[in-house]
Amino acid sequence: MRIRLCGVRGSTPAPGADFLRYGGHTSCVAVAHDDAASPTLILDAGTGVRAVTQLLGGQAFTGTILLTHLHWDHVQGLPFFTAGDREDAHVTLLLPEQEDGSSAETVLARAMSPPHFPMEPSQLRGSWTFATIAPGEWQGEGFTVLAREIPHKGGRTFGYRVSDGRSTFTYMPDHCPTTFGPGPDGCGEYHPAAMELASGADILVHDAQLLTPEELATEGRFGHAVADYAVELRRHAGAHEVVLFHHRPDRNDEALNDLARRFEDAPNVTVAVQDAVLQL
C-alpha cells in the first residue's frame, strides 16, 4: 500500500515562502495498492486533491473519494480535481450519513452552488455517484475501511482505518478528544472509537493542529487535537508510527521544525510533509 500526503494543512491553504518545506495545501491523502498502481482511493478533497491529477499521468480518475466531513478544507478542491472532472472519469464520492437525513449531493451543494460557487456537484463531468455511509465496515477499491464517528465541532465527522489485508493505516485528520473530558494527560480522553481505529495500525495519521496543551485554552473552540495527544494515542493504541497532520495555516516551516525537534527523541513520530510518500 502506498500513501501520498497530497495536502497536510488545516482550515485554509497556506501559500508563501514560509510554508515551502511542509506545504500549504489542505487535507487530501491518495492511496494506491503499490508503486505500479495509480491511486484509486482518496481520503478528503481539500486543495491537495489537485495533485492527484499529476499522479494519474494524464488518465482520468476511476475510484472512490471518501470524505471524513464537510468542512471547507476537506472539500474545496473537488471542482478543481481535473482528473475527476472529465467525461471519462468514474467517481464514487462517499461522506458520513447526515444527522438530518440529507443526501450526499444535497449537503455538498450547500457550499458548492450559487451564490457561493458557480456550479453544483451534479455539473461535474463524467460519471459521479454521491452517497452516504454509516459507521461500520466498507469494502471498495480492494480495501477494507472501518469508519467510526470521531468528535469534532460543526458536523458529523468520521475517522477511517484502511487495510489491504497486509497493512493498515488510520486517518483521523480532525479530532476533538476533549469532548469526552480532559483525559489522563489533560489533552482529551483516549475514547473507544479512537482506540479501535488506531489499535495496532502501521501508521496513524492524526490531527495535530494545536502544538501544546496551553493552546487548547485559546484555540480549542475549533475542535482540534494537541500534538501530545496524537503521540500518546499511538502509544496507548499500540500503533507503530504517528504522522502529525492538519497543520494550522499560520504554522510556518520554522514552527513545524520546532515541533519535529520537540519529538525527535520520541519513537516513530514524524511531522507530515506535503507530497511525502508512506510505503507499507
- Concatenating the DSSP letter of every residue in 226-254 gives BHHHHHHHHHHHT-SEEEEE-B-TT--HH
Contact criterion met (CB below 8 Å) for 9 and 25 = yes
Alpha helices in 62-170 (DSSP H): 72-75, 104-109
pLDDT value of residue 222 = 87
pLDDT value of residue 30 = 98
pLDDT value of residue 219 = 77
Give me the amino acid identity at 83: A
Residue with cell 462517499: 94
pLDDT value of residue 157 = 98
- Which of 1, 18, 10, 23 lies closest to 276, judged by CA? 23
Terminal-residue alpha carbon distance, the chain: 5
Contact criterion met (CB below 8 Å) for 154 and 71 = yes
CA gap 272, 269 in Å, rounded: 10
pLDDT value of residue 3 = 97
Name the CATH topology of 2-279: Metallo-beta-lactamase; Chain A (3.60.15)
Contact criterion met (CB below 8 Å) for 178 and 220 = yes
pLDDT value of residue 256 = 98
Q: What are phi and psi of 183, to 5 degrees?
A: 70, 180
In the chain, where are the structural domains located?
Answer: 2-279
Residue with cell 498502481: 37
Contact criterion met (CB below 8 Å) for 246 and 23 = no
Give bridge partners of residue 132 from the DSSP assignment: 95
CA distances from 63 to 67, 91, 93, 238 (A): 13, 5, 9, 31
pLDDT value of residue 82 = 97
Q: What is the mean pLDDT of each run of 10 residues along the chain (280 residues)?
A: 97 97 98 90 98 96 98 97 98 97 96 95 98 97 97 96 97 97 94 98 98 82 94 98 97 97 95 97
pLDDT value of residue 220 = 74
Question: What is the H or E stretch that residue 63 is in?
Answer: strand 62-66
Contact criterion met (CB below 8 Å) for 166 and 180 = no
- Which of 112, 111, 110 lies closest to 123, judged by CA? 112
How do strand 203-207 and strand 168-172 relate by DSSP bridges? parallel
CA gap 64, 139 in Å, rounded: 11
pLDDT value of residue 120 = 96
What 3-state DSSP class applies to 12?
A: coil
Helix, strand and coil in the chain, % to nearest 5:
25, 30, 50
CA gap 39, 53 in Å, rounded: 10
pLDDT value of residue 145 = 98
Residue with cell 475527476: 84
